[in-house]
């Protein structure tokens, strides 16, 4: 009798799980597809479990197999499947991310609604691949009250008054890189080829470690950035959706991700404990930095509460990881693309250098006021952000049945806000949208976009990137000092191959022909 009851219970459980799986991979997607098509949305028919993953992966493999023309459309390489879908089906279209439909949003007003209604349209981490969830945590993943509380606590460290105090750190970190280049390039002004791209993450990483965490940029700290970069690479090569239980499979990808996660946890924990010891010994002076604010939460936990402290430390590790990741990669790539554009647009290189000489030529200690006076370089950086935005798209998941413009959206629908599509829309920017024209920003961002809120390189709405203003200031300072020391052309060995990890970057580096000016 008991055996019979047990077997019946097991059978019921198996049938229940089979129904849950069938509903997830087939019944629900087909219902969602029918619902979207009734509203005039178009896209490929749903394919069991993987959706458009196979075709998308094949197109990425093809697009990444060769460089593109330097004046070509980067969308052809960094989002080939999305670009093809939009060309095939029009702007009212969708794709399949596994068994979940993803609707493309290209309308300015609809994007504005999505980024501002952040409780209804949330970030997709809980539906993403487990490795992606390891890669990005902390403030970026928080929602609701938890996010509001954290932003209120951490946001002030990126306000202008705080950033003004960081300019000297920007300058010191920049000069170390430029001095290294000066030792490589001959003093007589003869040309030297140098791939400058590998140095740029060291600059931005040194700024993050020194300015935000008060940690010297040692080889051990540099290794942390390399580990985070490797984890980002692994996450980008994993499938974009989560299959239940896949994180427990003993694959190389998960074994390596686990190893990186463990090493990062140990390293960040040691950093936190060392900082607390320095504070305890009275060695930390001045106003609290970001690192100190993060540690406030740990100080509030009783030292005897080991479980409570372990939980807080785990959360703080995620915070540290995201600031280390986003804080250096975005800035490094922004500087890289700016240097690329100036290396082929000599008119703007000359104008920017003239401005740098005028503003900084006789200055030993750069201040934020000096950075504010770099108007031409500011226009150039904004134009680079338009053409090569750090975030080419913003993904959201609908958390409750809702409407968006003329669309009715079911809970669980994914939305893809195509930032780069906005940035390259001739209806917004004009027929010269693909041209490098920094002077389009001479009268500000809104005027450049003909009155549309269509410039979103760092996201938009209340959840815009906290470090956007910091990244802009770092980039302007680096570019100005670089222009003072060197003239440069693009090397004939350069291959134009934009690729996206966390943000868009040059796959094969940035070889330049450098000539020393001073």
> Would you state the structure tokens that stand for residue 64, as one six-digit string?
């990444």
Between CA 367 and CA 439 the distance in angstroms is 25
> Would you state the structure tokens that stand for residue 3, as one six-digit string?
């055996």
Q: Is the separation of the CB atoms in 208 and 170 below 8 Å?
A: no
Between CA 419 and CA 454 the distance in angstroms is 8
CA–CA–CA angle 51, 54, 59 (5° rounding): 125
The CA–CA distances, whole Å, from 70 to 340, 387, 391, 493 equal 10, 12, 20, 13
Residue 213's closest CA among 266, 274, 161? Answer: 274
CA–CA–CA angle 499, 437, 395 (5° rounding): 40
> In a 3-state reduction of DSSP, which class is residue 420?
helix
Cα-to-chain-centroid distance, residue 299: 31
Between CA 165 and CA 162 the distance in angstroms is 6
Phi, psi of 278 (to 5 degrees): -65, -40
Helix (H) or strand (E) holding 252: helix 252-280
Q: Is the separation of the CB atoms in 134 and 261 below 8 Å?
A: yes
> Would you state the structure tokens that stand for residue 344, as one six-digit string?
């082929």
DSSP output for 476-491: HHHHHHHHHHEEEEE-
Q: DSSP secondary-structure letter at 50?
A: T
DSSP output for 69-99: -TTS-THHHHSHHHHHHHHHH-SSBEEEETT
Spatial strand order of the sheet with 394-398 comes to: 94-97, 100-105, 414-417, 394-398, 121-122
Pairing of strands 504-506, 498-500: antiparallel
CA–CA–CA angle 240, 246, 252 (5° rounding): 90
Annotated binding residue at 174? no
Positions at the binding site for heme: 465
Binding residues: 465
């Amino acid at each position: 009798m008991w055996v019979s009851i047990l077997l019946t219970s097991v059978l019921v459980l198996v049938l229940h799980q089979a129904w849950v799986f069938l509903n997830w991979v087939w019944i629900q997607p087909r219902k969602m597809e029918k619902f979207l098509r009734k509203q005039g949305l178009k896209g490929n028919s749903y394919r069991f479990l993987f959706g458009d993953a196979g075709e998308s992966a094949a197109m990425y493999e093809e697009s990444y197999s060769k460089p593109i023309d330097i004046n070509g459309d980067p969308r052809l390489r960094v989002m080939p499947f999305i670009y093809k879908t939009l060309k095939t089906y029009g702007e009212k279209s969708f794709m399949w991310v596994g068994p979940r439909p993803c609707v493309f949003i290209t309308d300015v007003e609809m994007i504005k609604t999505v980024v501002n209604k952040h409780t209804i349209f949330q970030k997709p981490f809980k539906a993403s691949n487990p490795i992606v969830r390891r890669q990005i945590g902390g403030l970026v993943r928080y929602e609701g009250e938890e996010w509001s509380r954290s932003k209120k606590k951490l946001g002030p460290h990126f306000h202008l008054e705080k950033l003004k105090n960081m300019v000297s750190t920007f300058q010191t970190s920049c000069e170390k890189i430029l001095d290294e280049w000066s030792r490589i390039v001959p003093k007589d002004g003869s040309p030297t080829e140098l791939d400058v791209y590998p140095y740029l993450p060291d600059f931005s990483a040194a700024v993050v470690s020194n300015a935000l965490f008060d940690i010297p940029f040692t080889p051990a700290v540099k290794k942390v950035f390399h580990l985070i970069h490797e984890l980002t690479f692994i996450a980008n090569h994993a499938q974009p959706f989560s299959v239940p239980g896949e994180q427990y499979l003993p694959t190389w990808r998960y074994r390596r991700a686990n190893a990186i996660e463990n090493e990062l946890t140990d390293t960040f924990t040691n950093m936190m404990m060392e900082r607390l010891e320095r504070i305890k010994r009275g060695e930390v002076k001045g106003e609290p930095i970001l690192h100190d604010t993060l540690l406030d939460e740990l100080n509030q936990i009783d030292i005897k509460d080991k479980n409570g402290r372990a939980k807080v430390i785990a959360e703080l590790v995620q915070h540290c990881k995201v600031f280390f990741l986003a804080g250096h990669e975005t800035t490094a790539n922004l500087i890289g693309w700016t240097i690329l554009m100036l290396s082929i647009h000599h008119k703007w290189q000359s104008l920017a250098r003239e401005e740098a000489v005028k503003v900084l030529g006789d200055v030993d200690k750069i201040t934020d006021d000096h950075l504010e006076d770099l108007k031409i370089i500011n226009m150039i950086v904004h134009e680079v952000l338009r053409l090569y935005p750090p975030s080419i798209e913003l993904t959201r998941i609908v958390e409750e049945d809702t409407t968006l413009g003329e669309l009715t959206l079911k809970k669980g629908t994914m939305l893809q806000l195509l930032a780069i599509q906005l940035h390259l829309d001739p209806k917004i920017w004009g027929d010269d949208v693909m041209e490098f024209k920094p002077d389009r920003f001479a009268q500000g961002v809104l005027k450049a976009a003909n009155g549309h809120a269509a410039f979103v390189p760092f996201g938009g709405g209340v959840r815009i990137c906290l470090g956007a203003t910091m990244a802009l200031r770092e980039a302007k300072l680096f570019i100005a000092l670089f222009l003072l020391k060197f003239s440069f052309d693009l090397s004939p060995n350069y291959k134009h191959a934009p690729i996206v990890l966390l943000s868009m970057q040059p796959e094969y580096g940035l070889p330049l022909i450098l000539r020393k000016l001073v």
